């Protein structure tokens, strides 16, 4: 604004002075400062003052106690990753999992194979979505051609297999070199098998191999990640115990049923033999009576055979 626009305040201040003095002062100020220009951004000249803090009730300090979410890309393009490495953390599906990648329940994209990260688009799948994939060769580009050969990496090398040396079933002394002891029950579980091998020290004793014994020993207590995981393992163990008890109960019932069936079959067989024997005796008597030529009928035998008794 121009200084000349401050005429009214200056004139009001000089009103107490004589009229002649005031007119002379105003004229001198106009002549000396009339050519000066002061920008409107000069707050001191304009007489404005702005607040440096907000009014009461609307001012609040920023909360610095919140935990950072740490979202965004964790691996850039062409970065080397292994299975399980987190590539991108997000809220929502800004990026979608592509080749050899998976997505967790919090939309975190992670690698499923060893390779290099690639960010790309695939119009064949979706015109607007953007994907993150992993390729085995750093020079490859995604997406692959729809009819291209599938690329896989099994992390294996070709090694010639060495045929194991056949072990004789019998030792020089004539006893078996290996004995397998089955578990209990009608259907023993394979884990209950015990493979006992003949010792080579000439003691003619069988012993289990050390590595098999090591699988039975629990050297370290399993660490649970949380109470929820511990409860899940506890439920699984209780369920496995219940299923095992149920299998044992069914096995016991089946063995009892087999025993009863065997008793019934034995009883039926004895009764059948008794009837066949009685029938043969009756036929023999009839044949003897017919061959006598009408003679006197012989008296019945004094000894009578009774049916056999079978204890249930």
Helix, strand or coil, per DSSP, at residue 305: coil
pLDDT for residue 150: 79
Residues of the chain short of pLDDT 70, as ranges, are 1-22, 33-47, 53-60, 153-158, 216-224, 291-312
pTM of the model: 0.34
Query: pLDDT tens digit string along 54-86?
Result: 666 666 677 777 788 999 999 999 999 999 999
The strand ranges marked E within the chain are 72-73, 80-81, 86-89, 96-97, 101-103, 109-111, 115-121, 130-135, 178-181, 194-198, 206-208
* Distance in angstroms (rounded) separating the CA atoms of residues 97 and 292: 106
* Distance in angstroms (rounded) separating the CA atoms of residues 266 and 260: 10
173 is written with which tokens?
């002394």
pLDDT for residue 44: 52
Q: Please tell me what DSSP assigns to residue 145.
A: P
């Amino acid at each position: 604004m121009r200084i000349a626009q401050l005429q009214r305040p200056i004139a009001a201040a000089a009103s107490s002075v004589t009229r002649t003095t005031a007119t002379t002062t105003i004229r001198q100020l106009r002549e000396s400062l009339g050519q000066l220009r002061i920008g409107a951004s000069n707050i001191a000249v304009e007489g404005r003052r702005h607040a440096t803090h907000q009014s009461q009730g609307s001012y609040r300090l920023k909360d610095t106690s919140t935990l950072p979410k740490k979202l965004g890309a964790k691996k850039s393009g062409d970065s080397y990753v292994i299975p399980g490495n987190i590539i991108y953390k997000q809220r929502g599906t800004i990026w979608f999992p592509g080749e050899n990648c998976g997505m967790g329940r919090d939309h975190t994209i992670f690698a499923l194979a060893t390779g290099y990260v690639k960010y790309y688009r695939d119009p064949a799948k979706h015109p607007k979505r953007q994907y993150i994939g992993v390729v085995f060769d750093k020079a490859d580009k995604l997406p692959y051609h729809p009819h291209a050969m599938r690329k896989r990496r099994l992390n294996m090398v070709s090694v010639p297999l060495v045929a194991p040396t056949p072990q004789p079933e019998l030792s020089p002394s004539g006893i078996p070199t290996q004995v397998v002891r089955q578990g209990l029950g009608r259907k023993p579980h394979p884990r209950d098998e015990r493979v006992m091998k003949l010792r080579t020290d000439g003691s003619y004793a069988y012993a289990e191999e050390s590595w098999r014994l090591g699988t039975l020993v629990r050297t370290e207590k399993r660490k649970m990640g949380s109470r929820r995981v511990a409860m899940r393992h506890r439920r699984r163990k209780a369920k496995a115990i219940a299923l095992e008890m149920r299998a044992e109960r069914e096995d016991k019932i089946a063995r009892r049923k087999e025993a009863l069936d065997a008793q019934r079959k034995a009883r039926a067989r004895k009764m059948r033999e008794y009837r066949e024997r009685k029938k043969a005796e009756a036929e023999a008597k009839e044949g003897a009576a017919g061959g006598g030529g009408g003679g006197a009928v012989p008296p019945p035998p004094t000894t009578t055979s009774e049916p056999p008794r079978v204890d249930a």
